[in-house]
């Protein structure tokens, strides 16, 4: 057997080994990169778009938007997101086409064409070398059989033929070796170009993500603007300032709605705020308040559910109405033994409340003071009201067992809330209009016909009260006439929420002539007014009923409560 002659240099032998490694890596990378493509490989952009998951998602969102309509917030969100997803799909198609053209196809050519061609040439060279070695061996054997020494060349026709065959084989080996060497050197020189494929991949990916990010950043403000412009936002569990800013109100919607409903139908209800309501009724009312759609007629027969919803709203606020920041000051004020100094400290804490919190606590305390005027019927004295509502107005900001924590401070909180209710007109001077926005039934309880009488005054004597109770209609139908006036005036107004038509049963503003009765309530910054001289056990009504003609001129405050005059305040 002929000895194999090595015709490649050591450098080319190293290149030959590297060829196989590069081929394996290129083949594996091409396979994995192809698997990353979401569209069908090798087709045009239109056909690729139909099979793209993002395109399918965009179509689904647009169809959902058409079903819900642009009148609902969800419909608007689906339309904006569908348009954004469709643009992202187009960017993805452009990205994949560019990756396929500039990276995947060149890698395929490298792994499946260029390197296999070099390896094929290498195999052909090996065959030529074998043929050359064989012809040389035959020629050498011919020389030995002729008995010639190694210095003499064999002669004759056969020897000439063998020599020509050997020379021709050597010539073919030389040509193939030169071609193979050139291809191998070219491969080594082009390694920079091969590495550039991966640089191109990263650059194309970066450009795709930049464009995608720009699209998302462009649509995101539009989505946020739609959400901010949408007025029907939940109020339970949301910060007070956020709810007031969104709804453009001064008094929280659940507070005003519940207070005005209770003024209509709950002031004489025994155990108001103390008796637990039906869980299903409470859940339904809270959901209705979150949607800003409440049917007063439905809940007029269940004032405990209304009171429970008000307590739930106050309790679910992220920060209590009387604020975490002033908690220690409230507690310290309640611990002062001298009555005069204690009330002055409570007054000072009230003045430090943020404007939104001050307006709402003033509104609520005024209502609770009015509620205690009917304590002979509802059994809710200022102390009882403070016990059941105090923990919902103020609690500490601390981790741990809330039940144990509230047990230790409940008496102190009662000592804070009870004086506020007892002396509401001293802490918050001036009359207040409970129907702030004019969207609810009148708290003045104007009698629209003979079948419905307003709620009796606590100052009414026993005989008049009995006559009033006999003439008064049941609570369940107490608002029929008001609702009738509403339907006569405005008809059935429809609103759409979440794509479903819902009847708007907000109550019409009262048609009486009572004006807003407000007085300046900002105490002097330097010196607070003198506190009440004594704490009455059962305080008289601090807000006497006034006729519409005299409501615009508040009566002078009682001197025992230390009110300053209007000009002083």
Determine phi and psi for 452, rounding to 5 degrees. -135, 125
Choose which CATH entry (1.10.3720.10, 1.10.555.10, 1.20.140.10, 3.40.50.12280) describes domain 240-427: 1.10.555.10
pLDDT at position 363, please?
92
From the DSSP assignment, how many helices (H) and strands (E) are in the chain? Answer: 22, 2
Average pLDDT score over residue span 148-167: 71
Q: CATH 1.20.1270.60: does it fit domain 10-145+158-229?
A: yes
pLDDT at position 86, please?
92
Cβ atoms of 414 and 382 within 8 Å: the answer is no
**Does the pLDDT at position 68 exceed 70?**
yes
pLDDT for 79-101, tens place per residue?
Answer: 999 999 999 999 999 999 999 99
Question: Structure tokens of 560?
Answer: 């025992």
pLDDT at position 81, please?
93
Q: Give the residue among 489, 315, 451, 300 at the shortest CA–CA distance from 390.
A: 315
3-state helix, strand, coil in the chain (%, to 5): 60, 0, 35
Cβ atoms of 329 and 352 within 8 Å: the answer is yes
Average pLDDT score over residue span 420-448: 67
pLDDT at position 431, please?
84
pLDDT at position 471, please?
39
Cβ atoms of 179 and 124 within 8 Å: the answer is no
Cβ atoms of 15 and 121 within 8 Å: the answer is no
CB within 8 Å of 393: residues ≥ 6 apart: 314, 320, 321, 322, 361, 364, 413, 417
Average pLDDT score over residue span 414-427: 89
Burial of 94 from C-beta contacts in 10 A (0-12 / 13-18 / 19+): middle
CA 278/CA 261 separation, integer angstroms: 17
pLDDT at position 497, please?
32
240-427 and 10-145+158-229 share a CATH fold? no
**Does the pLDDT at position 152 exceed 60?**
no
Q: Give the residue among 562, 555, 557, 558 at the shortest CA–CA distance from 533.
A: 562
**Does the pLDDT at position 109 exceed 70?**
yes
Q: In sequence order, which ranges of 230-374 are alpha helices (DSSP H)? A: 240-247, 253-265, 279-290, 296-299, 303-316, 327-334, 339-351, 355-372
Higher-confidence position of 487 and 143: 143
pLDDT at position 487, please?
32
CA 301/CA 83 separation, integer angstroms: 49
Q: Please give the DSSP secondary-structure letter assigned to residue 538.
A: S
Report the chain's mean pLDDT, rounded to a whole number. Answer: 74
Q: Which of the four pLDDT bands, split at 50, 70 and 90, describes residue 10?
A: confident
CB within 8 Å of 558: residues ≥ 6 apart: none
Average pLDDT score over residue span 195-206: 93
Q: Which of the four pLDDT bands, split at 50, 70 and 90, describes residue 211?
A: very high
Average pLDDT score over residue span 490-497: 33
Entry pTM: 0.52
pLDDT for 28-45, tens place per residue?
Answer: 999 999 888 887 776 677
pLDDT at position 358, please?
92
Share of the chain above pLDDT 70, in %: 70
Pick the range with the lowest mean pLDDT from 72-76, 297-301, 327-331: 297-301
CB within 8 Å of 440: residues ≥ 6 apart: 256, 257, 260, 261, 296, 506, 507, 509
Average pLDDT score over residue span 139-166: 72
**Does the pLDDT at position 558 exceed 70?**
no
Average pLDDT score over residue span 196-222: 93
pLDDT for 248-269, tens place per residue?
Answer: 888 888 899 899 889 888 888 8
Angle of the 327-334 helix axis to the 339-351 helix axis, nearest 10: 170
Q: Where are the domains of the chain?
A: 10-145+158-229, 240-427
pLDDT for 311-334, tens place per residue?
Answer: 999 999 999 999 999 989 988 988
pLDDT for 349-391, tens place per residue?
Answer: 999 999 999 999 999 999 999 999 999 998 899 999 999 988 8
The DSSP bridge partners found for residue 496 are 501
Higher-confidence position of 377 and 6: 377
Burial of 74 from C-beta contacts in 10 A (0-12 / 13-18 / 19+): middle
Pick the range with the lowest mean pLDDT from 196-200, 431-435, 473-477: 473-477
Q: Which of the four pLDDT bands, split at 50, 70 and 90, describes residue 407?
A: low
pLDDT at position 197, please?
92
Q: Which of the four pLDDT bands, split at 50, 70 and 90, describes residue 201?
A: very high
CA 430/CA 555 separation, integer angstroms: 9
Average pLDDT score over residue span 215-244: 83
**Does the pLDDT at position 517 exceed 90?**
no
């Amino acid at each position: 057997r002929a000895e194999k002659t090595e015709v490649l240099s050591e450098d080319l032998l190293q290149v030959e080994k590297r060829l196989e490694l590069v081929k394996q890596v290129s083949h594996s990378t091409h396979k994995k990169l192809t698997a990353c493509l979401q569209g069908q490989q090798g087709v045009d952009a239109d056909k690729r778009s139909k099979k793209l998951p993002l395109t399918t998602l965009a179509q689904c969102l647009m169809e959902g938007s058409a079903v819900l309509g642009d009148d609902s917030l969800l419909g608007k969100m689906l339309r904006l997101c569908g348009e954004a997803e469709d643009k992202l799909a187009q960017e993805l198609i452009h990205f994949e086409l560019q990756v396929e053209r500039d990276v995947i196809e060149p890698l395929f050519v490298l792994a499946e064409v260029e390197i296999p061609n070099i390896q094929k040439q290498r195999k052909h060279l090996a065959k030529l070398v074998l043929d050359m070695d064989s012809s040389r061996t035959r020629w050498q054997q011919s020389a030995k059989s002729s008995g010639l020494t190694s210095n003499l060349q064999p002669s004759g026709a056969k020897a000439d033929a063998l020599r020509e065959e050997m020379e021709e084989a050597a010539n073919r080996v030389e040509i193939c070796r030169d071609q193979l060497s050139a291809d191998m050197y070219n491969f080594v020189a082009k390694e920079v170009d091969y590495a550039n494929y991966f640089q191109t991949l990263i650059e194309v990916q970066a450009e795709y993500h930049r464009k995608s990010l720009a699209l998302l950043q462009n649509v995101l403000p539009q989505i946020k603007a739609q959400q901010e412009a949408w007025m029907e936002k939940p109020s339970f569990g949301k910060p007070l300032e956020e709810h007031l800013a969104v709804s453009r109100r001064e008094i929280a919607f659940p507070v005003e709605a519940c207070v005005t409903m209770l003024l209509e139908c709950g002031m004489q209800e025994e155990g108001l705020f103390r008796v637990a309501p039906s869980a299903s009724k409470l859940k339904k009312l809270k959901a209705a308040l979150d949607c800003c759609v409440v049917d007063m007629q439905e809940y007029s027969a269940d004032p405990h559910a209304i009171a429970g919803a008000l307590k739930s709203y106050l309790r679910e606020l992220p920060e209590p109405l009387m604020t975490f920041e002033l908690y220690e000051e409230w507690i310290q004020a309640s611990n002062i033994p001298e009555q005069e100094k204690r009330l002055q400290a409570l007054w000072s804490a009230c003045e430090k409340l943020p404007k939104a919190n001050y307006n709402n606590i003033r509104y609520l305390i005024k209502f609770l003071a009015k509620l205690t005027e009917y304590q002979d019927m509802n059994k809710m004295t200022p102390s009882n009201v403070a016990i059941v509502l105090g923990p919902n107005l103020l609690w500490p900001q601390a981790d741990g067992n809330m039940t144990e924590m509230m047990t230790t401070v409940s008496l102190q909180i009662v000592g804070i809330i009870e004086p506020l209710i007892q002396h509401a007109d001293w802490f918050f001077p001036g009359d207040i209009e409970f129907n702030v926005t004019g969207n609810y039934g009148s708290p003045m309880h104007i009698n629209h016909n003979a079948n419905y009488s307003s709620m009796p005054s606590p100052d009414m004597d026993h005989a008049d009260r009995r006559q009033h109770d006999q003439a008064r209609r049941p609570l369940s139908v107490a608002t029929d006439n008001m609702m009738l006036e509403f339907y006569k005036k405005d008809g059935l107004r429809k609103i759409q929420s979440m794509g479903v038509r819902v009847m708007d049963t907000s109550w019409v503003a009262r048609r009486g002539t009572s004006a807003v009765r407000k007085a300046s309530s900002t105490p002097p910054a330097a010196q607070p007014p003198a506190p009440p001289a004594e704490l009455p056990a059962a305080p008289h009504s601090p807000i006497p009923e006034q006729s519409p003609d005299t409501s615009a001129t508040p009566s002078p405050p009682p001197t025992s409560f230390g009110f300053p005059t209007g000009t002083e305040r």
